[in-house]
Amino acid sequence: MTDLNESCGQLCRELKAAWAIAKKDIRIYYLKPNIIVSGMLFPLFMFLAFAIGRDAPPTMLVPGLIAITILFSASSIEPVSIPIERRTKTFDRLLSAPVSLHSVVLGESMSGFLYSTGIALVPLSAGIILFSTPIVQPLALIGGVLLTSFCFATMGTLFAAYPTESPGDIMSMLNLVRLPLIFVSGVFIPVNALPQIGQIAVLFSPLTYGNDLIRAGFEGTTHFNPLMDVLAICVFILLFQVAANHLYRKFNE
Amino acid sequence: MTVHAIEATAISKKFGNLLALSDVNFSVANGETFGFLGPNGAGKTTTIRILTGITVPTAGTATIFGHDIVRETIAARRQMGIVHETSNVYDDLSAWHNILFASELYNVPRSAGERRGKELLELFGLWERKDDRVKVFSKGMKRRLTLAMGLVNDPRLLFLDEPTSGLDVQSNLIIRDVIRELTGQGVTVFLTTHNIEEANLICDRVAIINRGQIAAIDSPERLKKTIQSVQSVEVAFDPSSPKLLEHLRELPLVSEVRKEGDKFRLITEDPSGVIENVTTYAREHHTRIISMTTIGPSLEDVFIRLTGLMIRVKGVKAID
């Protein structure tokens, strides 16, 4: 019983510390110019580049815009904040605090998650207000937005493990992954319309499953089973978390 | 069995092929103020990073109040406060938000964190500026805030990495006073510093580390006694001239002469003999002695002897 109490107490302390880290990031980084450009403007211009001139209905375009907004905004906080904190040595403060590395990774990911969830409301509201896009499965939409946000926030934290003090180094590496993901996730080109190799590649992209759930919110149908979407995103989150923990530990040695 | 605040046993650390620490052993008693001295690159920061659980040793173990820093990292860290070498405060947050963040990170309850935060900001003379963003603070103010953040959890053990390096007099005095107060309250302090006089004044014991190995550990006074041969005579002349340095070097019994401000320091094993020779020299060269004092070896002399460094006019040269 004492062990159980101690474990619960430690879990509570860990979660509080993770939340403190997320709050700190919210206060400091949300309005940094490079985060606004990378997290808000970049996906908007990407979307416009694809959408303008295409005769596609809003129910086709709005889910795609939400998905890429989440991809870019969720993964933009940590690749900026962590290298800056390495440079100012404030990251050592987190690494030497009486909390596990899991909580540090979780706290960092939470700030990206909250940022992205908030930003996703912009295209969502635009879709509803400007294009009268109907939401037919709200649960799938909410689940898709939340899970995808957390997944890509964790991916951002994972990339930020690379031991550099320059955000540009991480952003370059991250874009090597983020940009191809847009083309192999059914965001703009439906999965069915992709060539055979593309249809295999989509299985390895977390954006595929997030996009599938978000699209289900508007269209009511999914390419994969919704439970498989949820499970696949959860597996990616777990993989990113474990890999991030491993890399932060390794690079600190 | 006595539980030491810190017990480092056979710690080694390799970075690739570089051996940064080699078989480092020492213990720090509960309530002790322990100085860790060494030239740049000697292994001071690596030692602190290992003792605070940021870095894992390649070999050996370290315990903090009996908790192994690798296996029981969190339990060990709960006992400690850490003031890093760089003032690692968040420039975009106010002093108040910085200190509240530190208290949340150390799981200090909200009300206790606010109370302690207020006490510490007042103690360090920052309360009036608590709502200002730290980016407008001076270097000394940031350093004081860093120290305040390190104390927010009332640690039993405080790691101070170069706490007063390059600070203004006011900040220096405040920080030294606080360290004295903490040691008076029984807090164990582990201090790394380049300021040997600071270590001499504050520390119960000091360790001198050089090239990753401990060269000596003892109280400052005992260390000084180990090099009694490094005694000296400090003398000031009127008028003083640059040629004096050359002439004094030629005096019998003098092994080395250093110019220190308007004075000369003559290193010798026989201070009384040197006093006679200097008096004779002054009389013969019609120069007046303003002051002359015999000085025992300083902690700096011990440091120089043990680390093999000798300060010369044109730089630093190894003598071993």
What is the pLDDT at residue B309? Answer: 56
Q: What SS3 class is residue B56?
A: coil
What is the pLDDT at residue B259? Answer: 87
Instruction: Provide the residue count of chain B.
Output: 320
Distance in angstroms (rounded) separating the CA atoms of residues B25 and B34: 14
Least confident residue range of A80-89, A207-216, B261-270: B261-270
Task: Give the total number of structural domains in chain B.
Answer: 2
Measured between beta carbons, which residues in chain A are less than 8 angstroms from residue B97?
27
CA distance A252 to chain B (A): 6
- Full residue range of the structural domain in which residue A32 is found: 22-252
Domain match, B96 and B211 both: yes
Q: Which of A88, A98, A100 is closest, CB to CB, to B88? A: A88
Domain assignment present for B320:
no
Domain assignment present for B1:
no
What is the pLDDT at residue A2? Answer: 67
Q: What is the pLDDT of residues B98-140, one digit of tens each?
A: 999 999 999 999 999 999 999 999 999 999 999 999 999 998 8
Distance in angstroms (rounded) separating the CA atoms of residues A149 and A164: 24
What is the pLDDT at residue B310? Answer: 46
Q: What is the pLDDT of residues A55-68, one digit of tens each?
A: 777 777 888 889 99
Task: Give the total number of structural domains in chain A.
Answer: 1
> Which residues partner with B83 through β-bridges?
B160
CA distance B250 to chain A (A): 51
Q: Does B127 touch chain A (CB under 8 A)?
A: no
Respond yes or no on whether the N-terminal peptide bond of residue B239 is cis (omega within 30° of 0): yes
Domain match, B78 and B104 both: yes
What is the pLDDT at residue A18? Answer: 95
Name the phi and psi angles at B231, rounded to 5.
Answer: -100, 165
Q: Which of A16, A19, A96 is closest, CB to CB, to B77? A: A96
Domain match, B206 and B288 both: no
Domain match, B176 and B288 both: no
Residue B184's CATH number: 3.40.50.300
Measured between beta carbons, which residues in chain A are less than 8 angstroms from residue B53?
96
- Angstrom CA distances, A93 to A88, A142, A230, stand at 10, 35, 35
Domain assignment present for B318:
no
Domain match, B66 and B170 both: yes
> Looking at per-residue confidence, does A98 or A46 come out higher?
A98
Distance in angstroms (rounded) separating the CA atoms of residues A178 and B21: 42
CA-based radius of gyration for chain B = 23
- Angstrom CA distances, B202 to A82, B206, B220, B295, B300, stand at 36, 10, 10, 20, 14
The answer to whether B148 and B96 have CB atoms below 8 angstroms apart is no
Share of chain A above pLDDT 90, in %: 56
Residues contacting residue B51 through CB under 8 Å, at least 6 positions apart? B6, B8, B62, B64, B69, B159, B190
CA distance B289 to chain A (A): 52
Q: Which of A10, A19, A92 is closest, CB to CB, to B84? A: A92
Domain match, B191 and B240 both: no
Residues contacting residue B78 through CB under 8 Å, at least 6 positions apart? A98, B106, B153
Distance in angstroms (rounded) separating the CA atoms of residues A139 and B169: 62
Domain assignment present for A3:
no
Residues contacting residue B316 through CB under 8 Å, at least 6 positions apart? B309, B310
What is the pLDDT at residue B166? Answer: 73
Measured between beta carbons, which residues in chain B are less than 8 angstroms from residue A34?
none
What is the pLDDT at residue A251? Answer: 85
pLDDT at A210 over 90: yes
Residue B281's CATH number: 3.30.70.1510
Q: Does B78 touch chain A (CB under 8 A)?
A: yes
- Sign of the C-alpha dihedral computed for residues A209, A103, A163 and B62 taken in this order: negative
pTM for the model: 0.82
pLDDT at A16 over 60: yes
Q: Which helix (H) or strand (E) holds A193?
A: none
- Full residue range of the structural domain in which residue B290 is found: 231-296
What is the pLDDT at residue B90? Answer: 96
What is the pLDDT at residue B308? Answer: 67
Mean pLDDT of A154-181: 93
Which 25-84 residues of chain A touch chain B by CB within 8 A?
27-28
Average pLDDT for consecutive 10-residue bins of chain B (320 residues)? 89 92 95 90 90 93 96 94 91 96 94 95 93 93 93 94 80 84 92 82 90 89 74 86 85 88 87 91 89 81 70 38
Measured between beta carbons, which residues in chain B are less than 8 angstroms from residue A20?
101, 104-105
What is the pLDDT at residue A32? Answer: 83
Domain assignment present for B303:
no
Structure-token pair, residue A10: 């430690």
Domain assignment present for A2:
no
Q: Which of B78, B86, B149 is closest, CB to CB, to A98? A: B78
Domain match, B71 and B206 both: yes
Structure-token pair, residue A110: 């939470």
Residues contacting residue B211 through CB under 8 Å, at least 6 positions apart? B42, B43
Domain assignment present for B130:
yes
